[in-house]
Amino acid sequence: MIEVHGLVKAFGLKPILRGVDLSVAEGEFVALVGPNGAGKTTLLRILASLSRPTAGEVKVGGHRLPARASEARMILGVVSHQPLLYGDLTAEENLRFYGRMYGIPGLDQRLAQVLKTVGLWPRRRDLVREFSRGMQQRLSIGRAILHDPQVMLFDEPHTGLDQEASAMLDELLRQVAARGRTVLMTSHDLSRASDLADRIDILSKGVIAGTYKRGELGPGELPEIYREVTHA
């Protein structure tokens, strides 16, 4: 579902990604971990067609980026650490706006469905700027799943959430994965990543420095490997 070969991204003369090779199969949940500045967000932004690669090949759902970005965006849902929501609109108005942008048929019904799913139906008429960080992130997930995308990209979705909100987010992530959606999530939290994902890829210094499937590693092994790989 996601194919990346030899991806290079540089801002000016500064290379961020130095030849990333990554493949995520349909229905797979991959967690991308790595230290700050490793290029996790840059990689996700390229996959989301928000940034152009400097070199290399990127395909999402078979659509080559950036040439077929519009088609790729139809099957993509993105949750970032920023909510991507308008504070002066209500929860329902925000989703209605995005629903119109995606041309979703039967929008009223879908809005109700999604708002109930993320537990914000009773607060649907409240302004988003009055929401807590956790509620905003739940609504952000609602925005991302509104058009029922096949591929979901999560960029450090747990940032700034308290324990309860994080647990709720984990539950939503599990639901998305259980429905056979392809998920790529960046995270700093190794234990959460290994708990949720089928596979963990370590991104370090602009390349994928290690790939580990769930069950391959013993308890407590991942942090040790992570330290070795990222400090090598």
Nearer to other proteins, 42 or 187 (CB): 42
* Residues in contact with 43: Cβ distance below 8 Å, sequence separation at least 6, in sequence order: 4, 7, 9, 17, 20, 22, 32, 186, 203
Look up tokens 């579902």; give the residue. Answer: 1
What the block records as the tokens of 110 is 């879908």
In angstroms, give the least distance from the CB of 231 to other proteins.
29
In angstroms, give the least distance from the CB of 220 to other proteins.
31
DSSP state of 184: E
Alpha-carbon distance 34 to 190, whole Å? 9
Which of 33-41, 83-91, 191-199, 203-211 is the region at the interface with other proteins (rule: CB under 8 A)? Answer: 83-91
Q: Are 192 and 214 in contact (CB under 8 A)?
A: no
Nearer to other proteins, 32 or 146 (CB): 146
Site string for other proteins, 43-82 (x = CB under 8 A): --x--xxxxx-----------------xx-xx-x-x-x-x
Q: Are 181 and 152 in contact (CB under 8 A)?
A: yes
**161 part of the interface to other proteins, by CB under 8 A:** no
Which of 99-107, 157-165, 211-219, 221-229 is the region at the interface with other proteins (rule: CB under 8 A)? Answer: 99-107
Nearer to other proteins, 77 or 210 (CB): 77
Alpha-carbon distance 55 to 149, whole Å? 27
Side chain identity at residue 164, one-letter code = E
In angstroms, give the least distance from the CB of 219 to other proteins.
29
CA-closest candidate to residue 232, choices 215, 212, 207, 213: 207
Q: Which residues bind other proteins (CB under 8 A)?
A: 45, 48-52, 70-71, 73-74, 76, 78, 80, 82-89, 93, 97-98, 100-105, 110, 113-114, 116-117, 119, 127, 143, 145, 147-148, 171-172, 175-176, 179
